[in-house]
Amino acid sequence: MTGALASCAGAVGSGGVTLRLVAADYGDSSANSSKKYWDQLVEDFEAAHSGIKVEVSVYSWNDVDRKVKEMVARGDAPDMAQIGAYADYAAAGKLYPADDVLSIPVQADFASELSDAGKVNRTQYGMPFAASTRILFYNKTLFSEAGITTPPQSWSDLATDAQLLKAKGVTYPYALPLGPEEAQAETMQWLLSGGAGYLNGFGGYDLDSAQNVATFTWLKDNLVGKGLTGPVAPGKLNRADAFAAFTRGEVGMLNGHPSLMKMAREKGVKFGMVPMPGINGRAKSTMGVADWMTAFQQGGHKDQIREFLDYVYSEKNVLSFSREYDLLPVTSSAQEAMARSPQDQDLEPFLQELPSAELYPVGKTSWATVSADIKNRIGKAVGPDGSPAAILAQLQRAAVTADSAAR
């Protein structure tokens, strides 16, 4: 799955350059490993660009960020890394601005909400590579058996439907994964549906706002406290386990991203998808997630990186990657092509949510620390002895401290 890393960029013929790229694996088996995608892309690129070779090393998402961090720490940064965050490297002055490594047409083709999320101090360093949004999945068979004729549009609807599902013996009427794998995602989705989020209007952390406390108090009292979230405590339920339970027909409702469609279909689950309900109707915004391409300055290969990344972000390649892994394109041209294509209609509900989606505050160098803290603590807020106000206040104090230390 992984290629051997060269210790440094070597010569390729006269005046040639070898670029090194470290990338994350979006596949779930060797059959659809991202290595296959990159191998084909690099083969096509090198055939048309003499003098530039590209070596790609692919690692699982469990390892890729750590691998890049280790390389940078020992003074052996790759030319490019396709990873989950960028702000720390940008703040340390290790990255090229996107202006330096993308042509103007390619950079301008990024969806604006994704470009903006890639900026530190108004300069773009993070180049969006893949995106997804979250919407509410529901099991049509379980809904029918419980006598539910329409999917929920408000929190009240969701709680009522969960009660009906529980009465029919559904194991997880609503799956609430606040376990350490991805609690920051489920948390953000609910905070947004409650009308707030992680940040205030000035870009500062605001985790313990009155709206956020009200949201988690509602979750604790109306879902968790009434036994509507299943046999596993939310703080111990991971997203992967919740998805697996959905594919087994054990979950009535849960927040999901595009890859859940394929997983559910393969298991024969009949499902529907709707925007996340809000307090009194559809939530004003949903959560979006983006992964990032970064270009490191250490190797000094700015011009060659630009040639390669312009190729990577061509409409053809962006569409190919998005279709292979059920992800949303990060460029406007590929999004428009997907919207026109019958083969991509399954992704249309997610595409519709992207323009109004709110992403993690990845431009803050403190976000990695804050995210890890949320993963560790937020499940306690809805536990039997938990206090949403107290837990969110603890998270807020820690976030402010982390933010101050990162400046």
Give residue 368's pLDDT.
87
Euclidean distance between CA atoms 170 and 75, whole angstroms: 54
Q: What is the mean pLDDT of residues 40-69?
A: 94
How high does pLDDT run on average in the chain? 93
Question: With 80 as the cut, is the pLDDT of residue 39 above it?
Answer: yes
Shared fold status for 17-131+290-355 and 135-285+366-406: yes
Return the structure tokens found at 110: 């990024």
Q: What is the mean pLDDT of residues 313-334?
A: 95
- Secondary structure string (H, E, C) spanning 271-336: EEEECCEECCCECCCCEEEEEEEEEECCCCCHHHHHHHHHHHCCHHHHHHHHHHHCCECCEHHHHH
Question: With 60 as the cut, is the pLDDT of residue 2 above it?
Answer: no
Question: With 80 as the cut, is the pLDDT of residue 227 above it?
Answer: yes
Give residue 15's pLDDT.
54
Task: Give the pLDDT confidence of 205-223 residue by residue, as tens digits.
Answer: 999 999 999 999 999 999 9
Q: Strands of 28-70 (E only): list them.
A: 52-59
Contact by Cβ (8 Å): 87, 290: no
Q: In terms of Cα–Cα distance, which of 60, 58, 54, 23 is closest to 41? A: 54
Contact by Cβ (8 Å): 92, 24: no
Q: Beta strand pairing status for 172-174 and 251-256?
A: parallel
Give residue 181's pLDDT.
87
Q: What is the mean pLDDT of residues 284-291?
A: 89
Task: Give the pLDDT confidence of 155-183 residue by residue, as tens digits.
Answer: 999 999 999 999 999 999 999 999 998 89
Question: With 70 as the cut, is the pLDDT of residue 226 above it?
Answer: yes
Whether domain 17-131+290-355 has CATH 3.40.190.10:
yes
Question: With 60 as the cut, is the pLDDT of residue 45 above it?
Answer: yes
CA 282 from chain center: how many Å?
21
Task: Give the pLDDT confidence of 112-152 residue by residue, as tens digits.
Answer: 989 999 999 899 999 999 999 999 999 999 999 999 999 99
Give residue 382's pLDDT.
98
What are the residue ranges spanned by the domains of the chain?
17-131+290-355, 135-285+366-406
CATH superfamily of this structure's domain 135-285+366-406: Periplasmic binding protein-like II (3.40.190.10)
Burial 308-341 (b: 16+ CB within 10 A, else e): bbebbbbbebbbebbbebbbbbbbebbbebbeee
Give residue 127's pLDDT.
98
Give residue 32's pLDDT.
85
Percent of the chain at pLDDT > 70 equals 96
Task: Give the pLDDT confidence of 11-35 residue by residue, as tens digits.
Answer: 443 358 999 999 999 987 788 899 9
Give residue 6's pLDDT.
33
Task: Give the pLDDT confidence of 148-162 residue by residue, as tens digits.
Answer: 999 999 999 999 999
Question: With 80 as the cut, is the pLDDT of residue 315 above it?
Answer: yes
Euclidean distance between CA atoms 337 and 344, whole angstroms: 9
